[in-house]
Each structure stands twice: as C-alpha cells, then as structure tokens.
Structure 1
Amino acid sequence: MEQPLLSMRGISKRFGATQALKNVALDAYAGQVVALIGENGAGKSTLMKVLSGAHVPDEGTMEISGQPLTPKRPQDSRSAGVAIVYQELNLAPHLSVEDNIMLGIEQQRGGFLRRSEQRRRVREALSLLGHPDLTPDRIVGTLSIGAQQLVEIARALVAEARVVVFDEPTSSLTQQDVQRLFDVIRRLQDQGLAIIYISHFLEEIREVANRYVVLRDGEPAGSGLLTDTSNDAIVSLMVGRSVETLFPHVPHQLGEPILQVKELSGKKLPQRVSLKIRRGEIFGLFGLVGAGRTETLRQLFGLDRAAQGTVQIGNAYPACSPNARIRAGLGFVSEDRKGEGLAQSLSIADNLTLSKLQTYSTAGIMRLGARRAATRDWMQQLNVKAQGPEQTIGNLSGGNQQKVAIARVLHQDAEILLLDEPTRGIDVGTKAEIYRLIGELAAAGKTILFVSSYLPELLAVCDTLGVMSKGRLLETRSVDHWTENEILSVAISS
C-alpha cells in the first residue's frame, strides 16, 4: 500500500475553552491533490497553522516521508519541506521577483550575494512552472495577482518543498489566471509534490483534486475520493445536515422601477451604462475582470464622481456623494472586505452602526446600551456567530464578517443594496444563508444589485442579468433567457 508523503494523526488543539481541533487526521500523497473542505471556523486554518509550525498541537503526530515532524516555529516546517501559499500573499512588493523568491535562503559566499547562482535557480523554478517570461528583476508590486502567486509558488520550489498548501488560491484571480494556476498545480503533481488545496468552490475542487477531507467544528466529518462522492453529500458533511439545494429560492414580486441609470460614464470605466431596476428585483451584473462592474457600483454610491450620466432613485436625483446616496436609500457592500468594507480593528457594534451613529447620540453622549441592543438584534436576525457586539470584527470568520457588512446597510434603512461579490471567500453553508437572505430582502420589497464572478449563483438567485464588457453594459435579459455559454460569449466580446 502506498505510503503518504505527509501524515497527520490525532491532531488536537485547544485555545482556552475553545476546542479548535479534535482528533483530526489528514494524509497527502506524492503526485496527488487532497482538498481540505469545511465551513469558515471549521478548523482548516488552525490545522494548517499546526502543519506550518505557527501552532504547536496539544496532541497528535506528524510525519513527512516517514520521519517525525515536530515544528516549534515556521522555519522548522519550511526546512522539512512544507510551503504554504496563503490567500493573502506574503510578499515584499518593493523587492524584485528574485529577492522575494530567495528571501531567507540567499546564496552567499564570504558575505557577498551570489547573484548569478540565485538568478539561475529563480529562472529554473519559473521555467518549471511554465513561466520563463517572468523575469527575476521585475518588481513584485508591478505584477498582477496571478503573477505574484507564481512568485510564491516559485519560492516553494526553490526551497525544495515537498508539500505545498494552497489556501483559497483563486479568490482574487481572473478566470484565465485560475486555469493557469491549475496548470501549475498539475506540473507540481508531475514533479511528485503532495498538494493540499483549500477552497469553498466545489467545482474547482473537482477539477484539481483527487481526494477530500471535510472538517466540521474542528473534527473530522468525512473523507474519500471525489469521484465517489456527490456535491450534496460533501455539503451535508460540511454543515451536518441534509442540504436540499445550495440556492434556496424565496418567492418575491417585482414592482415599479426604483433605480434608473442613464448614460453613466466615468473617467475610464464604466462607459455609457444605462439600466432600470424595479422594487423587489434581484438584478445580477456579470463581467470579467476589467469589465467595469465595481466601478459602476462605486459611481452609483457616489464614491467616484461620474463624468456624465444621471442616477435616479425613485423620483429624485441625489447628489454624487455617499452621504446623499445613503439618504436616498442606497447601501453599498464592498468586495474588499478587509480594505474598505469593514474596519477590522473595531467592534461589531462599531461597524454595524457606523452609518447611523447619530441615532444613538443624545446631546453628544453615546447611548451604548441602545447601540448594543440594536447590534444584538441584527446579529440574531442574520445569524452572526460571535461572542457579542463588542467582539472585534477582525476576529470573525469571513462569512460572519460579510453578514455584519450586510447588516450595516440594512440598519441604515437602505432600500437598494449594492452588493459587490458578497459571497467571495465564504463557505457553502454561509453562502446558502446569504442567498436566502437576499431572497427575503427582495420579498420585503428591497432592491438588490448583485455583482458576482460566479455564474451559478447569479443564474440561480437573480431575476435579471446584465453582462458587461470593457466598461459597457452590453445585454440585459431575464435569467430564464440566459445560458452560461451565452453569458461568457457576450462577456468576452469586443
């Protein structure tokens, strides 16, 4: 029987009263990809931190090629052949490709860097990845996200990694870069590396992985071959209950036009966008990277000033500023949850009430009790899992952070919700909750403008779908009259 290259057995880890991991096992074989699946907070990140040496397990053993692995710090795991490519890339943007790849393992003699030897190793690694065109002297900060990810992978190769972990690697990639990444992973398999692949997208897991391991609440929930297991069965293992559908449908009625946009243009993007959205409608907006979807939402919310065009909300034409658009009933949930969607260092209560702080102020004194009560109410309505209103937002899972971001725009009484990639980086179970919430909001008469790069959710959740390309809204139809092939054909058209 084939022996695993990496073996993790009986891994347990507790943080105070919280049992983060309990008796978890995971095997990774040379030349294969094992998918590590689970909801946010299931223990995936903690398990990988144990593997990386960032956490020392309370119980359990690890082996690489039959040799014990007992890292006390990340350097110990790296030296043993473990490399992790994180969702948030760990690069120095001001340094060159060569300097990033060789950081910590510089080639030197007599106190001087051996630049020629370093460049040879860097070029060799990039060539193995199929990208000899990525030159060692390029500054990393000037590269695309996909190219930066290649730099991370090349660093793993130069460090002679035998086990490579990919943690949500496609969340910020274009579709073209995703396929390039999959090609790279296949090359790594051909070289005999063991790959651990973490993702919330079951479709891409099936494309790239051989086996799967599911964690739920820090414990093993199931494992096996992907060819022998349906998506519904995997989702049921993740959430601990039967899942009838990944896309719950909530009946809702469409009313009169509430948002009308005519000839909206920015300095570069968008270009002469016109659309009409009705009360209670879920309007999807699809396009490839650079199509202008996010720019359109930012101009609708008043974050960016339009070069021309009008935005009509009901019967009014509000001024182009976020305050004016909020007063007119718009709410915006940014795709950049960390950078601008939420204040990561502030509490749930701070984030949720930022748009209407004046509601809780009397004579300049903040009524903290009333604010906490309102926050608890919204947390209960949206099923936000947290210790309480004062917990720091940065300590929540991605799915719970996203619920707080949506709760904020609901708390500000928004009638029209602009949602930019609201399910990115969120587990399947939480996605289903957000889909249901969007349907319930539409049933309550709210209007949703839903931007996403994930076609199955747009076709399942939306009433109407518009496709953008190069800044223009090319075509709008009822979702019943679209197919995925037709949507992509329009999206790549000139």
Structure 2
Amino acid sequence: MVKILEMRNISKRFPGVLALDGVSLTLHAGEILALLGENGAGKSTLMKILSGAYQADQGEIFLKEEKIISKNPAEMMKKNIAVMHQELSYLNDLSIAENIFLGKLPINKFFQVDYKKLRADTKRLLDMVGLDLDPMTEVSTMTVAQKQMMEIAKALSAEVQVLVLDEPTSALNETEVQILFGLIRRLAAQGKGIIYISHKMDEIFEISHRIQVLRDGRHIGTAHTGEITTGELVNMMVGRTIDTICAKEGRSPGDVVLEVKNLVTARIKDITFSVRAGEVVGLYGLMGSGRTELVEAIFGKKPVSGGEIRIDGKKLSIRSPRDAIREGIAYIPRERRSEGLVLTESVQHNMSIVHIDKLQKFLKLDLKREKTLVREWIQKLQIKTPSLHTPVKNLSGGNQQKAVIGKWMMDEMKVIILNEPTRGIDVGAKAEVYHLIEELCQKGMAVIMISSETPEIMGVSDRILVVHEGRITGECERAEFKQETIMHYAIGEKSL
C-alpha cells in the first residue's frame, strides 16, 4: 500500500506536561486508521500538530513522501489535510453554504458572490454526506447531528487527501452513523486516508482497517483490526484490565427525595416520576425525545407551564438554575465544555464557582479556605492537573468531567442530574465516573442519569424510565432490563 502520511518521532511539551514523547504514525492511501487512547493519551495533541494548530517541539511530517512544515490550519488545508475536531466550529448566523465556503465564496464577473454556483456546489457536498437540507438554511436552526454532517461536507469541499475525524458520531443516531460510515468507506475507496478517533469499540471494529494505541503520550502498539480483541485494546489503553465497565455495587435506596408530578412544558407532556435517596434512575430516549428538556425543566433552565416538583415532600417554585441549586438540585450538562465549565478559568475557579457564597468571610472570598477545599477534592477524585491554577481547558476530557461532577460533590446536594456523563471519555475515565456515581449514592443523593448507550444505562441504573415524544412510555425495574424492550418503548411501539 502507498504511504499517504507519515509522522515521525513527534514530541510536544506543555508547562509541566510531556504531551507527546517520540510518537510515530503511518497512514496509507485508502486506509481507515483508528487512533485509540485514554483522554490525555496525546491523540488530540498529535492531531492538532497535524492540523497546524500546534507546532511540534521535534519530529517530522511527510505527505506522499514529501516533508511538509505544519505552520497553521490554513496551510495544512492547502496541503489537503483536514481535521474535524470533536468541538465543532461553525457560525450559527450564517447559512450552510456560507459556512462551508467561508473565505472562498465563488465570485462572478461582476465581483459579487455567485449564489447560483454556491448553491449548486453546496448541494453536491450535502448529497455526499446524506444531508437533505436547503444550502441556504441558517445553521442556528439545525440539530447538532446536522451540524456535524455539515462539518464533514466542509472538509470535503477542500478535496482532502487526509481526513481526521475526532469522535464524529458523538451526536448521531444509529441511522446517521451508518450514513457516515458509508461516506467514510466511499472516501477510502477513492484513495483518501482516514484517521478515525473514537472511544466506541463497536465502531472501531466496524469501520477501521488498523488500530493504533497511545498511552501517556507514547505509542503503545498498532494492530490489524481483525487480529486483536476488545480486552487486549483496553489493556493497551489503560495499562490494566478493566473487567466490568458498568459494574455497580448493591444499593439500598431510602425514602423518596425528588417527586415530579404531572410536569408540563413546551415539549414535556404530563410526566410523573420519583427518585429515592441512594437510587439511580436512568432516563433513556432517542434524540428529540424530550429527555434533556425534562431534566432542564427540573433544573430551572426551561419554563414549566404545569405540574409540581417536590423535594422531601416540599413543593418548590423553580424559575431558574439559581433556585434549583438553592434547593439542592445539581445538573451536569451534556456539553461539559460549553455549559459545564468556564474554559479560560482555572481548575480551582471552576470547582469553587458554585460555592462562592459559602466561601465568603466578612463579605470577602476566603482564598485560603477555597484553595484547601479544592485541593482536597482534586486529591479525592484523582483529577490529573499540573496545579490548581491550570486553565481547565488544558485538562483531558475525563479530568474535565471529574471536575464538573466534583464541584457538586463539594456541597451537600440532594439531587444530582447527569446528562451523558461519559460522553467522549475513554473506558478508564468511564470506570472512574461510575465509581463517582456510586459515591453519590452512598452519600444519599437521588441520581438521575441520561445515557444514549443502553448497556451503560442498564449497568448503572436501578430503574429506567423511557421517554418518547415528551412522554414516559416505559418504566423498567432492574430485573426487567432488556435492550429490546427499552428500544420498543423508545420508538413508541410500547407504552405504559
């Protein structure tokens, strides 16, 4: 096979952290190479060097045997290398066409934008990715999944030879995943090289030809996909064997803490349920089912037009997240980077921000107490950070998630809502999140967890409520858990 890309002995150091230590990578034309590793293993840093966003401290990059210099993303796009990051980059107020061709809009002989050509070129790209939308649709009206497909279309507009996809299915349903896989296979058949980054093992085995594993900034091994098992890959990734990813200890739920009665919002239709102390209630539903709208209504992010929310029997009036926090309700959002963290601020600030009122002394923030409390919880949760003052954006995804959960564990909350808490983190970090959930239960909190992965929600939950079109269509006790039953409820074929 012809080498299309080679990265040789790439090293990169950040203050206090050796992110990459002599990592090499080879990609052949027509190949789909899966890049695996825990959060913090160096995958993103390696790809940012390839994209031109970072410069390597040492090492070389070759494209079709020719040495290239990675100066900036624009230069690398000109060399037909495109990297689609997990955090999508788009302008909400522009159209699909304008987003795809931003900076390279077609101009007619009158020096005006040639909208006829713009539409036609955009339509061709949208057809390639299976996105049936008008090219002039404003991006703000699109779903996350549609925006993800638009980003791939944008990469294809540059006639790429090397395409890097970082967690491309994180917001896609099963149908959309198969459309994406079909597109990836067609691109590989055209001789393009694909680097595919994902924490979903089933996807890795379905789509890749070879798998390369990084750990702690080093290359651990590379294998042909059909010649290695999931267990062997996990062991390579984390340096230890994880026997059960979703193992849960026996729980003994106590009294009812949270009661939701006949709740109604713009999307939610007369929902009633309860959660007991020390219990995990899983919320499952397909995209657009209303599960996120339900928990956001409980947390005061969405207005409620009817029904009641009670804690310990007391009827609450929740009009904002501030009201919910005051009553002991915590919420870990699905989008931790945009909703759960202030990325430019320090780890210390992010973990203490919701406790500022309680950390004040004589109307001033008690900095010594703040530092002591945060340091204590960083040690308890084993959050890997060079210091308390490190910007939280520099942490791996798993450590960012532990920081988000940890800030609520620092106080005596009664209800904690986890929306896709393991999204985009590796198997080792997932196991740590499951352990944190057990700790929340042992502290007597009532836990609600949303997950799109049925094995995960079945492994963690005591009960599962299934949401479809704004209603609870099914409720399963642990002894009744079956993926087929849950899916029937989720698509509306069964209901209570």
Q: TM-score, normalised by structure 1?
A: 0.93
- Residues 16 and 347 of structure 1, relative CA distance in 2, 3 Å threshold: closer
- Residues 109-128 of structure 1: pairs in structure 2 closer than 5 A: 112=111, 113=113, 115-128=115-128
Q: What CA distance in whole angstroms lies between the structure 2 residues aligned with 1:162 and 1:22?
A: 26
* Alignment check: 8 A CA contact 2:463 2:478 kept: yes
* 1:269 positional shift: 2.1
- Residues 66 and 391 of structure 1, relative CA distance in 2, 3 Å threshold: closer
* 1:331 positional shift: 1.7
- Residues 442 and 360 of structure 1, relative CA distance in 2, 3 Å threshold: same
Report the equivalent of 2:102. Answer: 103
- Residues 244 and 142 of structure 1, relative CA distance in 2, 3 Å threshold: same
* Alignment check: 8 A CA contact 1:253 1:443 kept: no
* 1:310 positional shift: 1.6
1:186-230 Cα offsets, whole Å, 9 max, x none, are 222222211111112112222222211111111001211222222
Report the equivalent of 2:297. Answer: 299
* Alignment check: 8 A CA contact 2:474 2:486 kept: no
Q: For residue 62 of structure 1, give the secondary structure of its aligned residue in structure 2.
A: strand
* 1:26 positional shift: 1.4
Which stretch has the larger CA shift, 238-247 or 469-478? 238-247
| Counterpart code for 2:52 | G
Report whether the alignment pairs 1:90 with 2:105: no
Report the equivalent of 2:129. Answer: 129
Q: What CA distance in whole angstroms lies between the structure 2 residues aligned with 1:110 and 1:160?
A: 25
Report the equivalent of 1:319. Answer: 317
Report the equivalent of 1:184. Answer: 183
Q: Extract unaligned runs of 5+ from structure 2.
A: none
- Residues 72 and 214 of structure 1, relative CA distance in 2, 3 Å threshold: same
Report the equivalent of 2:216. Answer: 217
Q: What CA distance in whole angstroms lies between the structure 2 residues aligned with 1:40 and 1:474?
A: 36
Q: How many residues align?
A: 491
Report the equivalent of 2:405. Answer: 406
* Alignment check: 8 A CA contact 1:128 1:187 kept: no
Report the equivalent of 1:444. Answer: 443
- Residues 358 and 102 of structure 1, relative CA distance in 2, 3 Å threshold: closer
Q: What CA distance in whole angstroms lies between the structure 2 residues aligned with 1:127 and 1:294?
A: 30
Q: What CA distance in whole angstroms lies between the structure 2 residues aligned with 1:482 and 1:193?
A: 43
- Residues 180 and 476 of structure 1, relative CA distance in 2, 3 Å threshold: same
* Alignment check: 8 A CA contact 2:347 2:392 kept: yes
Report whether the alignment pairs 1:370 with 2:369: yes
- Residues 67 and 457 of structure 1, relative CA distance in 2, 3 Å threshold: same
| Counterpart code for 1:299 | A
| Counterpart code for 1:315 | G
% identical equivalent positions: 37
| Counterpart code for 2:434 | Y
Q: For residue 263 of structure 2, give the secondary structure of its aligned residue in structure 1.
A: strand
| Counterpart code for 1:276 | S
Report the equivalent of 1:197. Answer: 196
Report the equivalent of 1:286. Answer: 284
Which stretch has the larger CA shift, 81-90 or 136-145? 136-145
Report the equivalent of 1:389. Answer: 388
- Residues 368 and 482 of structure 1, relative CA distance in 2, 3 Å threshold: same
* 1:108 positional shift: 4.4
- Residues 372 and 212 of structure 1, relative CA distance in 2, 3 Å threshold: same
* Alignment check: 8 A CA contact 1:129 1:187 kept: no
Q: Extract unaligned runs of 5+ from structure 1.
A: none
- Residues 148 and 256 of structure 1, relative CA distance in 2, 3 Å threshold: closer
Report the equivalent of 1:43. Answer: 42
* Alignment check: 8 A CA contact 1:286 1:468 kept: yes
* Alignment check: 8 A CA contact 1:261 1:310 kept: yes
* 1:41 positional shift: 1.4
| Counterpart code for 2:242 | V
* 1:330 positional shift: 2.0
| Counterpart code for 1:129 | V
Q: What CA distance in whole angstroms lies between the structure 1 residues aligned with 2:476 and 2:79?
A: 55
Report whether the alignment pairs 1:142 with 2:132: no
* 1:151 positional shift: 2.7
| Counterpart code for 2:267 | L
| Counterpart code for 1:302 | G
Q: For residue 5 of structure 1, give the secondary structure of its aligned residue in structure 2.
A: strand
| Counterpart code for 2:271 | V
Q: For residue 473 of structure 1, give the secondary structure of its aligned residue in structure 2.
A: strand
Report the equivalent of 2:159. Answer: 160
* 1:120 positional shift: 4.4
Which stretch has the larger CA shift, 320-329 or 393-402? 320-329
**RMSD (Å) for aligned C-alpha atoms:** 2.1
* 1:31 positional shift: 2.2
* 1:139 positional shift: 3.0
* Alignment check: 8 A CA contact 1:463 1:479 kept: yes
Q: For residue 181 of structure 2, give the secondary structure of its aligned residue in structure 1.
A: helix
Q: For residue 309 of structure 2, give the secondary structure of its aligned residue in structure 1.
A: strand
Q: What CA distance in whole angstroms lies between the structure 1 residues aligned with 2:421 and 2:314?
A: 27
* 1:141 positional shift: 3.1
Q: What CA distance in whole angstroms lies between the structure 1 residues aligned with 2:54 and 2:347?
A: 27
